[in-house]
């Protein structure tokens, strides 16, 4: 299958008119235009302690980043602050696990979740986070036995999201950070 360099992928996303920048249209665009892995390799930064978030591009409409996952790493259970999200996995394999809210009391930061569907991603298959059920977790399961790289596009840049803890049935707003910007490690980042 033909791939696009990341610069051309960004140009293509920027060319989508505002009114057409919808969940299904961007999903289709990503599914039809897998990224060339060599073109995103300069953004690969790995840590054995945590998965890394590496910003490639950002404007007022969307941001694109590469996330690098070592074996066994997982995100927190989280949402995307009411923004649309699309992802592909050009390297390795990842599992997405969706959750539904069973019970919530926002005044106490209480939230009981239940697992719903899950899906595996690899070989540049595109996925989207549905706004109807936005709480999810991404995992590089130990049995996948390899590192993984995912490419994420968020419909509007955001710097906080809600993170959920199933052990305590709580949730809170957490800040988000980049590991690198434009391929260069951010200050105070220790891999």
Q: Is 131 exposed, middle or buried (0-12, 13-18, 19+ CB in 10 A)?
A: middle
pLDDT at residue 189, rounded to an integer: 87
- List residues forming the annotated binding site for Fe cation: 78, 80, 136
pLDDT at residue 81, rounded to an integer: 79
- List residues forming the annotated binding site: 78, 80, 136
Q: Which of 98, 95, 114, 97 is nearest to 169 (CA)?
A: 114
- Chain segment 71-84, per-residue pLDDT in tens: 999 999 999 877 88
Confidence of residue 132 (pLDDT cuts 50, 70, 90): low
Domains of the chain: 6-181 (2.60.120.10)
pLDDT at residue 127, rounded to an integer: 81
Least confident of 42-51, 115-124, 158-167: 115-124
Structure tokens at 33: 């235009």
pLDDT at residue 131, rounded to an integer: 58
- Chain segment 15-58, per-residue pLDDT in tens: 999 999 998 999 999 999 999 999 999 999 999 999 999 999 99
- Locus of tokens 């996303």: 13
pLDDT at residue 188, rounded to an integer: 85
pLDDT at residue 70, rounded to an integer: 97
CB 189 within 8 A of CB 180: yes
pLDDT at residue 130, rounded to an integer: 61
Q: What is the mean pLDDT of the chain?
A: 93
């Amino acid at each position: 299958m033909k791939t696009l360099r990341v610069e051309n992928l960004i140009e293509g996303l920027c060319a989508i008119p505002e009114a057409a920048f919808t969940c299904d249209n961007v999903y289709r665009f990503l599914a039809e235009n897998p990224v060339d892995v060599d073109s995103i390799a300069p953004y690969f930064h790995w840590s054995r302690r945590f998965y890394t978030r590496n910003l490639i591009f950002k404007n007022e409409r969307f941001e694109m980043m590469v996330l690098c996952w070592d074996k066994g790493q997982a995100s927190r259970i989280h949402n995307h602050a009411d923004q649309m999200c699309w992802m592909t996995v050009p390297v390795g394999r990842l599992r997405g696990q969706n959750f539904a809210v069973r019970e919530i009391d926002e005044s106490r930061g209480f939230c009981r979740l239940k697992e719903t569907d899950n899906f595996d991603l690899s070989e540049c298959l595109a996925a989207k986070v549905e706004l109807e059920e936005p709480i999810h977790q991404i995992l590089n399961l130990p049995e996948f036995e390899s590192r993984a790289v995912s490419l994420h596009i968020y419909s509007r840049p955001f710097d906080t999201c809600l993170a959920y803890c199933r052990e305590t049935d709580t949730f809170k707003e957490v800040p988000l950070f980049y590991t690198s910007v434009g391929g260069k490690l951010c200050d105070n980042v220790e891999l």
